[in-house]
Structure 1
Amino acid sequence: MTVPIIIDFEASGFGKGSYPIEVGFSGRHGEGWCALIRPEQDWQHWDIDAAKVHHIPREILVERGKSSAYVAEQLNFFLNGYTVYTDGWGQDYVWMARLFDAAGMVPRFKLADLRGIISEQQEERWHSTKDHVLKELGIVRHRASSDARVLQLTWLRTYDAGRSALC
């Protein structure tokens, strides 16, 4: 079994005009990486409801966020050649594309839908296991790297539970 690398993006909102504000991933050994992304000049969309979920004020992004080029370089460095999974493929793909377009780069990794590697047995246990992982880790904020870790642990625990049920 290969532990999947899980990536997650937080964004300025949903729909047209939204852009990535944070990206994080959980690597094969559980190591995490994340970065706030400084908005580009033409990235103006800001959804108050989305901000209430991720608790990242736009001012913090402007002040502390990394450039799109830096974030894209780092993602390519760490994820080069890997398939990386997300639970929000449609949205995360758009935000990843927006990030890499702004950086003038192309991703050197493949983004894939996490549902493609979840078995029926895992799916049956998914929500209850995820709730347990959230409680166990005591995660109270909705952020990219912690969301990625929760998904990865949920995948691992449901995978292990499905394997033991077959034995």
Structure 2
Amino acid sequence: MTVPIILDIEASGFGQGSYPIEIGFSGRHGEGWCSLIRPESEWIHWDLDAARVHGIPREVLIERGNTAQFVAEQLNFFLGGRTVYTDGWGQDYVWLACLFESAQIAPKFKLVDLYEIIDDDQLPNWNATKEQVVKELRVARHRASSDARVLQLTWLRTYDEAKKMQNGQTV
């Protein structure tokens, strides 16, 4: 079994016109990476409900965010040649494309839906396991790298539980 690399993206909103504001991942050994993204001049959409969820004011992005080009280059450096998974593939794919288009470079990694590697045997315990992981990690904010780590640990634990059940072991 190879531990999946999990990527998560926070965005300015939930619909059309939204753009990435923070991106993070949890690597195969649990190492994390995260970056705020400074909005490009044409990125003007801002949803107050989304801002309340992730807790990142637009002013902070402008002051502390990295450029789309820098973030895209860093992602290619860390993730180049790898398959990376996300639980919000439909949205994250669009936001990732927005980031790389603004940077005017191509991603060197493949983004895949996490549900492609979640077995049916993992699903019954998924939500309870995820809640337990959130409690153990004391995740207080909805942020990209911590969300990615929660998903990765949830996948690992439910995978292990499913394999034990398949082998007739009690969990």
TM above 0.5 = yes
Q: Deviations over 1:2-47 (max 9, x none)?
A: 0000000000001111000000000000000000000000100000
Provide the residue aligned with 2:137 in structure 1. Answer: 137
Pairwise CA distance, 1:82 = 0.4
Pairwise CA distance, 1:69 = 0.3
Figure out how many residues of one structure are paired with residues of the other and give that number: 167
Provide the residue aligned with 1:99 in structure 2. Answer: 99
Percent of paired sites with the same residue: 69
Q: Secondary structure at the match of 2:50?
A: helix
Provide the residue aligned with 1:55 in structure 2. Answer: 55
Provide the residue aligned with 1:15 in structure 2. Answer: 15
Provide the residue aligned with 2:158 in structure 1. Answer: 158
Stretches of 4+ moved more than 6 A in 1?
none
Query: Please, which runs of 5 or more residues in structure 2 have no aligned partner?
Result: none
Provide the residue aligned with 2:30 in structure 1. Answer: 30
Query: Please, which runs of 5 or more residues in structure 1 have no aligned partner?
Result: none
Q: What letter corresponds to residue 69 of structure 2 in structure 1?
A: A
1:82 to 2:82 alignment: yes
Q: Secondary structure at the match of 2:45?
A: coil
Q: 2 CA distance for matches of 1:21 and 1:166?
A: 41
Q: 2 CA distance for matches of 1:144 and 1:46?
A: 18
TM alignment of 1:68-79, pairs within 5 A? 68-79=68-79
Q: Secondary structure at the match of 1:14?
A: coil
Q: 1 CA distance for matches of 2:73 and 2:123?
A: 34
TM-score, structure 1 as length reference: 0.99
Q: Deviations over 1:101-137 (max 9, x none)?
A: 0000110000000000000110111001000100111
Pairwise CA distance, 1:166 = 1.5
Q: 1 CA distance for matches of 2:166 and 2:97?
A: 40
Q: 1 CA distance for matches of 2:151 and 2:16?
A: 26
Q: 2 CA distance for matches of 1:46 and 1:74?
A: 25
Q: 1 CA distance for matches of 2:123 and 2:5?
A: 18
Q: Deviations over 1:71-112 (max 9, x none)?
A: 000000000000000000000000000000000011000000
Q: What letter corresponds to residue 119 of structure 1 in structure 2?
A: D
Q: What letter corresponds to residue 98 of structure 2 in structure 1?
A: R
Q: 2 CA distance for matches of 1:107 and 1:125?
A: 33
Q: Secondary structure at the match of 2:152?
A: helix
Q: 2 CA distance for matches of 1:102 and 1:166?
A: 46
1:115 to 2:109 alignment: no
Q: 1 CA distance for matches of 2:15 and 2:154?
A: 28
Q: What letter corresponds to residue 18 of structure 2 in structure 1?
A: S
